[in-house]
Amino acid sequence: MLAVDVRDLHRGAVETVGQLAPQDEAFEGLGLALEGPVAVTGRLSQTGDHEFFWRAHLAGRVHGTCRRCLTAVTYPLDTDVEVLFSADPDAAEDPSVYPLVSPVTRVDVRPAVREEVALAVTDFPLCREDCAGLCLRCGADLNAGPCGCAALSD
Ligand SMILES: [Zn+2]
Ligand SMILES: [Zn+2]
């Protein structure tokens, strides 16, 4: 469950476990290239009258392009999340707090999943840590071996 009834939260922390498919409306308009669903595991607890703390882990796989050699890569999305949901109008000013509409009947963590996934995939991936990239002069993939340019420039 990724949307939790506040009455359950009044009784204690609630496990938030679920999967969001790439086509889920939570990701609408982000233009993400998710390979499969994003797995959400977490725990939501009430920390104030109108305030809830969510600690979670998000995992999935993302399609991308190596920033050095432009090869297609699939890399893991793997991120820890700690966010606050609050219906307190004062907290609405704080960009790190997810606002809730009063009166709060349920806490839906999906807006936080959306944002955190978007943040996690903006990093430019590498096909591997030591990717040699492309030659700036001839465009050859230097992972396949040196091109002729180095010899020419000497
Ligand atoms: Zn590469
Ligand atoms: Zn070259």
Predicted confidence at residue 96, as pLDDT, reads 83
Ligand nearest 75 Cα, by number?
1
Joined together, the tokens standing for residue 95 give 């960009």
CA of 66 to the centre of ligand 1 (A): 5
Ligand nearest 138 Cα, by number?
2
CA of 132 to the centre of ligand 2 (A): 12
Amino acid at 36: G
Domain positions in the chain are 3-153
Q: Please, are residues 9 and 107 in contact by the beta-carbon 8 Å criterion? A: yes
90-138 confidence digits (pLDDT tens): 877 888 899 998 889 999 999 999 999 998 886 688 999 999 999 999 9
CA of 19 to the centre of ligand 1 (A): 30
Predicted confidence at residue 89, as pLDDT, reads 84
Judge if pTM exceeds 0.85: no
List the one residue out of 129, 140, 138 whose CA is nearest residue 67.
Answer: 129
Rounded Cα gap, residues 91 and 53, in angstroms: 13
Instruction: State how far the alpha carbon of 118 is from the alpha carbons of 31, 64, 113, in Å.
Output: 9, 13, 8
